[in-house]
Amino acid sequence: MNNTRKFFALVALGVAVACNSGAPEADVQASDAQTVDESKTASAAVYNVNTEGDEIAWEGYKTFNIGDAHNGTIQVTDGNFKVEEGALVGGEFTIDMATIKSLDLAENQEYAAKLEGHLKSPDFFAVDSFPTAKFVITGAEAAAAEDTTGATHYVTGNLTLKGISKSITIPAEVQMNDQEVSFSTPEFVIDRSQWDVRFRSTSFTEFADLAKDKVIDNNIKLQINVKATKA
């Protein structure tokens, strides 16, 4: 499988991974989840997500260890986009948290398996209790002509992770025609602590006095690539 007003500029992902003192700042801010008004999309055309090859790329960091980072992918398992009169008006997609994969450790499968298992554990995403995450679109607007992110739209939606739903807005390049929707994002950064992903995060009191070389950064870099075909 191939690889908010600032999002993916989902998941997942307070990654037990490594970061450095130059770790990226979170450019996507989370707020209270919004109500989804399905009546607004009742007459929209539906495009079903093609799950073969669709995925989210992630990268995580240890805050004070320069160059110490891990990266990988996680798969989208189903979903759809809703389009009306040439505009993206809704949709959602589901993320299979059990598919968290490390790419940078591909040559050390034993360590990769340990990292992936830790990310799935209660320390991070508690996959046994919360096997999926979800992003539900609540609105989208065209990017300004002077936008330099490569986005065509800014897409707002509720990201649910570990059973916690927060509204985020992310930049996305959205291409649509009669048969297909392509949804991809530039890299964007979220703060895992906003979804109660705690392990070695100094945002939580149990890790407030943790030694610097043990701290895992709150910020996770994400990038989404999803395509869908008209139903």
The model's pLDDT over 22-74, given as tens digits with 9 standing for 90+, comes to 567 878 999 999 999 899 899 999 999 998 877 999 999 877 655 678 999 99
pLDDT at residue 54, rounded to an integer: 79
> Residue ranges per domain, the chain?
31-230
Is the pLDDT confidence value at 21 over 90?
A: no
Is the pLDDT confidence value at 165 over 70?
A: yes
Q: What value does the CA radius of gyration of the chain take, rounded to a whole number of Å? A: 17
- The model's confidence at residue 18, banded by pLDDT at 50, 70 and 90, is very low
Q: What share of the chain is helix, strand, coil (3-state, %, to 5)?
A: 10, 45, 45
| CA dist., res. 135 & res. 156, Å (int) | 9
Tokens linked to 215: 């701290």
Mean pLDDT along residues 163-178: 96
b (16+ CB within 10 A) / e for 130-151: beebbbbbbbbeebeeeeebeb
Q: Which of 102, 94, 26 is nearest to 71 (CA)?
A: 102
* Cβ contacts of 108 within 8 Å, gap of 6 or more: none
Of the CA atoms within 13 Å of residue 61, those in its CB half-sphere come to 22
- The model's confidence at residue 171, banded by pLDDT at 50, 70 and 90, is very high
pLDDT in tens, 131-154: 999 999 999 999 999 998 889 999
Q: Which of 29, 12, 163 is nearest to 76 (CA)?
A: 12
* Cβ contacts of 116 within 8 Å, gap of 6 or more: 72, 100, 101, 102
* Cβ contacts of 106 within 8 Å, gap of 6 or more: 112
The overall average pLDDT reported for the chain is 88
For the chain, give the percent of residues with pLDDT over 70.
88
Tokens linked to 33: 């989840």
DSSP run (H or E) holding 115: helix 109-120
Mean pLDDT along residues 5-20: 37
Mean pLDDT along residues 187-214: 92
| CA dist., res. 28 & res. 31, Å (int) | 10
For the chain, give the percent of residues with pLDDT over 90.
72
CATH class of 31-230: mainly beta
Which range, of 6-10, 74-78, 207-211, averages the lowest pLDDT? 6-10
Q: Which of 77, 85, 64, 67 is nearest to 11 (CA)?
A: 77
Is the pLDDT confidence value at 127 over 90?
A: yes
